[in-house]
């Protein structure tokens, strides 16, 4: 990175004094997608600056899921940040699917020879932050008024303000890793994007609590009362969910009410042996499927939630971000090392093939395990589909193959 002298840019109404920075890739967003891309590029000798509007403490305070596909683990290994993951992560070789109190284990190892790792997204972010700080790569937090300029031209730039000072980054490319509400996708002309969206008529109420899990693997439970998910973050911390109305508010759900409802849905045997405790975090998340195509506009490349959202049922959000980042890293490495545009030109199509596979799987898991309405026909179809899953090895193989992650 090269930092230049202060320069003056004149607008129609004022004189703006800005600090000019120069980098090869400007990364907007310091979540796991942006930090992972920055770390991969740094190890390849490609300079990148990461911008983030929040503080590091705020970023680390976000509570997110943490089921990592095999491919995601390999990407983190390539980035040199998988040491603590391998020491502290929990390998899961299957999940349980419950229907009205009956459960069937989907054995990933026996069915497709694979597994996943449970390791919180917060911990992935922490590892990436620590690695970036250790290598001296530049991350700039608490920035405001971020704007992208000339993204369809020859000289892309990112302007922002930090602590009242106006700054600008000149770069070769911009990576938009700033999430669904970020500035990156909104900087693309609406007519240049095709948007696909499905809004689900319910949300997930999630509770984080410091109690030991009464289950060894994740349990996805479907009952007449609605969906529930039993998951964990460690041997002493659980993350549990119940399907709820979009009209519900967190304040309506006391800890006592949540645990009572969770036990009713998860199954009598699990409920009988589980411990409960006060929540340390409680939130309601609406469910949606969202894809914006293409994932490239000029010199701007979208990755992660900036381009797509999936319901959490299939555990694909973080994993899709990792695959986007891997494809973009390979394309940028090919450009800088080999002088070829081929990877950059093919990035969007390559990423979207995997995105739509994950969107389909997440949609399938969501529709099969949640109650959408009391319409008798729909409920009978859903019950027949789950019975087929329980009785068909081929159906179980398809679920296992998608859950552990299709090849990158």
The whole-angstrom separation of Cα 234 and Cα 226 is 26
Please check whether residue 108 is in contact with residue 93, taking contact to mean a CB–CB distance below 8 angstroms: yes
Q: Where is average pLDDT lowest: 25-34, 121-130, 353-362, 369-378? A: 369-378
Q: What is the pLDDT of residues 172-228, one digit of tens each?
A: 999 999 999 999 999 999 999 999 999 999 999 999 999 999 999 999 999 989 999
pLDDT band at 9 (very low <50, low <70, confident <90, very high): very low
Please check whether residue 312 is in contact with residue 359, taking contact to mean a CB–CB distance below 8 angstroms: no
Please check whether residue 36 is in contact with residue 76, taking contact to mean a CB–CB distance below 8 angstroms: yes
pLDDT the model gives residue 16? 57
Q: Which two tokens stand for residue 331?
A: 């394309």
pLDDT band at 8 (very low <50, low <70, confident <90, very high): very low
**pLDDT at residue 346 greater than cutoff 80:** yes
Q: What is the largest CA-CA distance in the chain?
A: 71
The whole-angstrom separation of Cα 209 and Cα 274 is 12
What are the structural domains, with CATH classification, of the chain? 2-69+120-196+288-368 (3.50.50.60)
The whole-angstrom separation of Cα 398 and Cα 387 is 15
pLDDT the model gives residue 379? 84
181-185-191-192 Cα dihedral, nearest 10 degrees: -160
Mean per-residue pLDDT, 276-305: 97
Q: Is 185 helix (H, G, I), strand (E, B) or coil?
A: helix
Residues with Cβ within 8 Å of 262's Cβ and at least 6 positions away in sequence, in order, are 207, 228, 230, 240, 242
**pLDDT over 90 percentage in the chain:** 88
Active-site positions read 92, 220, 312, 316, 403
pLDDT the model gives residue 99? 87
Residue 273 sits at the vertex; the CA angle it makes with 270 and 275, to the nearest 5 degrees, is 105
Q: Which two tokens stand for residue 189?
A: 């002309």
The mean pLDDT of the chain is 93
């Amino acid at each position: 990175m090269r930092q230049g002298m202060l320069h003056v840019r004149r607008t129609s109404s004022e004189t703006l004094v800005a600090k000019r920075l120069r980098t090869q890739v400007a990364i907007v967003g310091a979540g796991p997608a942006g930090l992972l891309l920055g770390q991969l590029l740094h190890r390849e000798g490609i300079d990148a600056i990461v911008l983030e509007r929040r503080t590091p403490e705020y970023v680390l305070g976000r509570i997110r899921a943490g089921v990592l596909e095999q491919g995601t683990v390999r990407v983190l290994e390539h980035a040199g940040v998988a040491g603590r993951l391998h020491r502290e992560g929990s390998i899961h070789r299957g999940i349980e699917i419950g229907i009205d109190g009956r459960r069937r284990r989907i054995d990933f190892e026996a069915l497709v020879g694979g597994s996943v790792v449970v390791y919180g997204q917060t911990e992935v972010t922490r590892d990436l932050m620590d690695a970036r700080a250790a290598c001296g790569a530049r991350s700039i937090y608490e920035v405001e008024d971020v704007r992208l300029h000339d993204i369809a031209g020859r000289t892309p730039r990112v302007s922002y303000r930090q602590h009242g000072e106006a700054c600008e980054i000149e770069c070769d490319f911009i990576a938009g890793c700033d999430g669904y509400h970020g500035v990156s996708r909104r900087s693309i002309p609406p007519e240049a994007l095709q948007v696909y969206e499905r809004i689900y008529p319910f949300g997930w109420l999630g509770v984080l609590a410091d109690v030991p899990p009464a289950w060894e693997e994740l349990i996805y439970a479907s009952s007449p009362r609605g969906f529930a998910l039993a998951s964990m973050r460690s041997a002493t911390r659980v993350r549990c969910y119940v399907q709820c109305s979009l009209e519900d508010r967190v304040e309506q759900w006391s800890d006592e009410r949540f645990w009572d409802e969770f036990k009713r849905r998860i199954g009598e045997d699990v409920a009988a042996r589980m411990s409960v405790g006060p929540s340390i975090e409680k939130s309601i998340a609406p469910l949606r499927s969202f894809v914006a195509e293409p994932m490239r506009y000029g010199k701007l490349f979208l990755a992660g939630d900036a381009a797509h959202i999936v319901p959490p049922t299939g555990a694909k959000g973080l994993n899709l971000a990792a695959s986007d980042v891997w494809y973009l890293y390979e394309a940028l490495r090919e450009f800088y090392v080999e002088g070829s545009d081929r990877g950059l030109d093919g990035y969007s199509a390559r990423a979207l093939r995997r995105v739509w596979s994950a969107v389909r799987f997440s949609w399938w898991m969501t529709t099969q395990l949640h109650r959408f309405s009391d319409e008798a026909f729909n409920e009978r179809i859903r019950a027949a589909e789950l019975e087929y899953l329980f009785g068909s090895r081929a159906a179980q193989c398809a679920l296992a193959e998608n859950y552990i992650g299709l090849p990158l």
